[in-house]
Amino acid sequence: MKTSKISALAALLLGVAMLSGCSSSPDVAVPAAERKDPNASVLFSEDGGSSWRQRIRIDDKKTISAASILSVAVHPNDPAIIYLGTEKHGILLSRDGAQSWEAVDFADKVYGLVLNPQNPQEIYASGVKDKRAKIYKKTGEGEWQEIYTEPSDETTISALAIDPRNGSVLYAGTSEGVIVKTENGGATWKNIGKLDRPVISISFDAKASSRVYFGEFRGKVWVSENAGANLTDISSALYDVSRGASVYTVLADPWFAGTVFVGTDEGIFKSTDSGRTWTALGVIESSKEFPIRAIAVNPQNSKEIVYAAGKAIYKSTDGGVRWSTFQLDTKKDVGVLRYGATDPTKILAGMRDLE
């Protein structure tokens, strides 16, 4: 794909240069890498979420503070390689564990960004080019190839997920509620269904890829038990427990079959039977005042859960009974949390501007 990102990248770097330029204040003596930026777009933990630091450097003079992070993909074998999908600045890539970043030429509004778990050189990403939502595929150093396009302007590919056991199978959801699937790496697609609201989450069951969960923005939670052939609404039991809470994210447990978490404006809810029954996690009560848009579960220890609400990140090591907290010194909110697949001591928080 020959997408020109020069003007957008120039704007990003210009804004960054102004933010990280020298001044006459005492902060000049603080190394650029250690200054706290209220507009920071990335927080990174190297101790499993016990502490967090900003990781926004391009070099000693420039940062990625202007970026609003919509998606994150971590290399399945090398946690030092991290991709960020942004709202207006394409894709950002780190090869050194978020120590520094570089721009990858791509479209805007990158809500979906995934790597083939069997062949991490194969990247899939959604984006908006000339107001049209598309999905692209890139292998190694090759060019981006368009593999899917929406028929009208103003739609976004709001969710994208790849089967962890079969990198040729992907599901995509749109801001219009449409769900599509490919079984051959994007060569062809088929319709799965249409939900009432934008699709915000697609997540695969830990043990059976044929079980897939779908979340609507402030709407319902759905599951397919047969690889998308049928969709079942599993919201009624959730609403009974959550008092009709609005859904903001859905995440399948990475270890236990049939276990799924839902982040809402009334806390976090968990099901261990594929959505037939639900229980509320004992999250900190004050965090329920804010929508929980980001949840992550340690891929090697399901009792370790991290979530974000308002201007704080919360971590539990006992399955959600007790929580430690970390204050966010930023103007942005956490939009996505992601563990390193092979090194869960490393967690990345992508910050975004929320309306």
pLDDT one-digit tens code per residue, 7-24: 444 445 444 333 333 333
Q: What is the mean pLDDT of residues 165-184?
A: 97
Whether 108 has a pLDDT exceeding 80, the answer reads yes
Strand partners, 250: 262
Q: Which residue has the higher pLDDT, 221 or 355?
A: 221
Whether 72 has a pLDDT exceeding 80, the answer reads yes
Strand partners, 172: 160, 180
- Report whether 316 contacts 305 (CB < 8 A): yes
Q: Using alpha carbons, select from 98, 259, 74, 269 the residue that is nearest to residue 164.
A: 74
> For residue 331, how many other CB atoms are within 10 A of its CB?
13
- pLDDT score for 202: 98
Amino acid at 334: V
Q: Which residue has the higher pLDDT, 105 or 287?
A: 287
- pLDDT score for 13: 43
- pLDDT score for 35: 58
The dihedral through the CA atoms of 151, 155, 161, 167 has a sign that is: positive
Strand 324-327 with 333-339, pairing: unpaired
- Report whether 126 contacts 160 (CB < 8 A): yes
- Backbone phi and psi for residue 27, each to the nearest 5 degrees, phi listed first: -65, -15
- pLDDT score for 154: 85
Rounded-to-integer distance, Cα 60 and Cα 74, Å: 24
Strand partners, 251: 261
**What is the chain's mean pLDDT, rounded?**
90
Helices (H), 44-90: none
